Amino acid sequence: MKLHRESKGTITVASLLFIILSAIAIYFLEMWSLVVILPLLVVYSLVFWFFRVPDREILDHKENVIAPVDGKVVMIKEVEEDEFIKGKAIQVSIFMSPLNVHICRYPVSGKVIYKKYHPGKYLVAWHEKSSTENERTTVAVESLTNHQVVFRQIAGYVARRIVFYCNEGDDAKAGHEFGFIKFGSRMDVFLPLDTEIICKIGDITKGGLDVIARMKE
């Protein structure tokens, strides 16, 4: 199993804690130490599971909008996007639990034309106001279909670290990685009003694979 590059620090800390706490349990509890060690081993294994990098065959896309993350579609709604589009758009929101793969991928192919990091609160990620009040990043891409598509990484109550690697002027390729969020979060995608939405609320998505919408050329 491949591990994401963002795992190094967390796994180092988790390994040290597991060794120290296990040693203390063995010293004080002796034969009963397994009562402590086994739950610790489960938590330790989940840390590795969280940072897994699945092997996925990413295809080329033009009109298709690809699920940017693994998770559950929790919102499809017409909204005002005030940061970049400054007008109406269709917002598709996908919530990631701590057990989901947390790699963030470009939803469309094109050119990165905007990026910004916003400090903020840590409301639960499914809260509607988290899109504008939580710690977050905003990225905009001029798509191959000549549309401006905005997408936003949003930190949740548990997530406390957002990473994005893209820069203005970069080529965006739908389904390919541009960032990572640690431990539970949400991803919003803002699409033109005439976009054909294919997903529905409650759908479970696979980042980089599932088509969630289709834009008119």
What per-residue confidence (pLDDT) applies to 15? 97
In angstroms, rounded to a whole number, what is the distance separating the alpha carbons of residues 44 and 215? 42
Torsional class of 113: left (φ above 0), alpha (ψ -120 to 50), beta (otherwise): alpha
pLDDT, tens digit (0-9, with 9 covering 90-100), for 8-39:
999 999 999 999 999 999 999 998 999 999 99
Torsional class of 17: left (φ above 0), alpha (ψ -120 to 50), beta (otherwise): alpha
Residue 36: helix, strand or coil by DSSP? helix
Q: How far is CA 95 from the centre of its chain?
A: 8
Backbone dihedral angles phi then psi of residue 147, each to the nearest 5 degrees: -115, 150
Please check whether residue 193 is in contact with residue 57, taking contact to mean a CB–CB distance below 8 angstroms.
no
pLDDT band at 58 (very low <50, low <70, confident <90, very high): very high
Radius of gyration of the chain (CA): 19
DSSP H or E run through 40:
helix 34-50
Q: Where are the beta strands (DSSP E) in 61-132?
A: 64-66, 71-81, 87-96, 103-105, 110-118
Is position 93 annotated as part of the catalytic site? no
pLDDT, tens digit (0-9, with 9 covering 90-100), for 116-142:
999 877 666 556 666 667 889 999 999
pLDDT, tens digit (0-9, with 9 covering 90-100), for 173-207:
999 999 998 876 889 999 999 999 999 999 999 99
Enter the tokens of residue 135: 């710690």
What is the pLDDT averaged over residues 51-67?
95
What per-residue confidence (pLDDT) applies to 159? 52
Query: Is the pTM of the predicted complex or chain greater than 0.85?
Result: yes
